[in-house]
Structures are given as C-alpha cells and as structure tokens.
Amino acid sequence: MTAKGSLFLEVSSVSKVTYVMLFRYLYTLNTPAGYRGVQVADQTLEVIMQDLDQGVMSIFTQEGSASARDATQKSGIDRLYPTATLDEFLFSPCGYSVNGILKGQYLLLSERSLFYNLRITDWSETAHA
C-alpha cells in the first residue's frame, strides 16, 4: 500500500485562533501480477486535531457524560450516520472511542460498507481527536 497527500489548515474562531492539523492520507492497493486476494482497497481519511475547545472536550470525560452513549449523543456523533451500528467506549478518567459501520445502502456501491472510528483524548496538555 502507498500513502499520498498531506495538508495543513488554520481555522479562526471568534475568541482565538485555533490551529487544526489535517493530515489526509489516501491509501491505494498495489497488487503484484497474479495476486488472487482482495482487488479493491479500502480508502481511508485520517484527521488529527489539537487545541480543541475544552468545553466541548469535557463531553468526553466521565464528569461530562454519564456513559459512552451519552457522550455520543451530546457530541452529535450519533447523527453523522444515523443508521450506523456503533460500538462506543468512555475511558476513565477521560477519553472516548467509537467504531461505526454502515452497510452499503447509503453508498454508491451497494455491496460495499462504510466503517469509521474516532479516538478522542481529553488530557489538557495533549488533547486531540
């Protein structure tokens, strides 16, 4: 597999300037001649953010949410793909993880599925999503 592309993006907010690092990698499948395995590669997009709003990040703590499902609903992650099957986890004392899968009915190729995962940590010095 090979990875291509990167991008840095600066986003301004009302109260201060927030720097958001956006790394985009597109992985492609390069198979050798005669290969009989998977012929269609997954495409992935990786987004890394830092300097996030602490009020929003508090959702992903056990003080800010009663459960992983509560954090999913408060953050709006459950509305990204409303029919996705989700597996969420709220870490102690802070941090959040969700895996989602959506069958092909919303995608151009009905036999494919979409999967995603989000990892969020709320350690104030190294908070990132």
Q: Does the structure show a pLDDT above 90 at 89? A: yes
Q: Quick check: 118 and 128 in contact, CB under 8 A? A: no
Q: Residue 42: what pLDDT?
A: 62
Average pLDDT over all residues of the chain = 71
Model pTM? Answer: 0.62
Q: Find tokens 């499902």 and name the residue.
A: 69
Long-range contacts of 41-47 (CB under 8 A, 24+ apart): 41/1, 47/22, 47/23, 47/129
Q: With contact defined as beta carbons under 8 Å apart, do 59 and 74 qualify?
A: yes
Candidate from 59-73, 79-93, 103-117 with smallest mean pLDDT = 103-117
Between 94 and 10, residue with greater pLDDT: 94
Exposed/middle/buried for 85, CB within 10 Å: 0-12, 13-18, 19+? exposed
pLDDT of 36 strictly over 50: yes
Report for 42-46, 89-93, 104-108: range of highest mean pLDDT: 89-93
Between these two residues, 70 and 39, which has the higher pLDDT value?
Answer: 70
Q: How confident is the model at residue 21 (pLDDT cuts 50, 70, 90)?
A: very low
CA dist., res. 71 & res. 61, Å (int): 8
Output the pLDDT for position 17: 40
Q: How many CB atoms lie within 10 A of CB 122?
A: 23
- Phi and psi for 106 in degrees, rounded to 5? -100, 0
Residue 124 pLDDT more than 80? no
- What is the mean predicted confidence (pLDDT) over 41-69? 83
